[in-house]
Amino acid sequence: MPAEVGSRELIMGPLPRNRYVWFFTLAILGLVLDLVSKQLVFQQLGYPHGQRAEPFFSHWVTFTLVTSVNEGALWGIGQGYTWIFALLSVVAIVAVSVWLFVYKAARSLWLTIALGLIMSGTLGNLFDRVGLHGLTRNGEPLYGVRDFLLFIFGGWPWPVFNFADCFLVSGAIMLGVQALLTDEMASEPADSARGQSGAVDTDSAGTATTT
């Protein structure tokens, strides 16, 4: 019962104000960077199949710009299911908001930054998936994510991506690190408790033998 009361008090307590600043700053700045970069590159290079005349660098790793529209998910997975991914994006936006500000995950600055990055990437790609970029194909609205960053490693091209993808992957990596660290911290007290219990049993056994 006391644990349940403490849990309710934790959820009901106020969040530090700087968590709101961190989250919304990352979400808004990331969204603006993603949308502006897409607009500039697609205007300059054109679509479809616009490409920069010369790569920025070209050795074992080549980096250049090429315009592409992805009608699937990250790395081109699930082509043709744009609206399903758009719906999942909306679900993710709601889930992130509830987790941070209702269940107070924003008490952790690390989680706040991770989910701010994920929110910016989700919003940037959702903007494209619902066709707000204005691109068309054969006179029909084109529902897909604008990608333009291309890396080639030793002749093998990496799937074209954008800044929203960078933010999503960075946020996901941060969540993975958080999960690993949480598991390690949770296991350490348990190991310590087992060690102390073993020491007590040993002492008790020793006392019983000498008595």
- Cis upstream peptide for 48 (omega within 30°): yes
State the burial class of residue 64 (Cβ atoms within 10 Å of its Cβ: 0-12, 13-18, 19+). middle
Active-site residue, 165 included: yes
Are 149 and 169 within 8 A, CB to CB?
Answer: no
Cβ atoms 142, 136 nearer than 8 A: yes
List 34, 128, 165, 203, catalytic entry:
165
β-pairing verdict for 145-153 and 61-70: antiparallel
Which of the following is catalytic: 147, 183, 191, 203? Answer: 147
Residue 161 phi, psi dihedral angles, 5° rounding: -145, -175
SS3 136: strand
Give the C-alpha distances (Å, rounded to integers) separating 46 from 40, 69, 77, 163: 10, 12, 24, 18
State the number of CA atoms in the 13 A half-sphere of 17 facing the CB: 0
Which residues are known to be catalytic? 147, 165
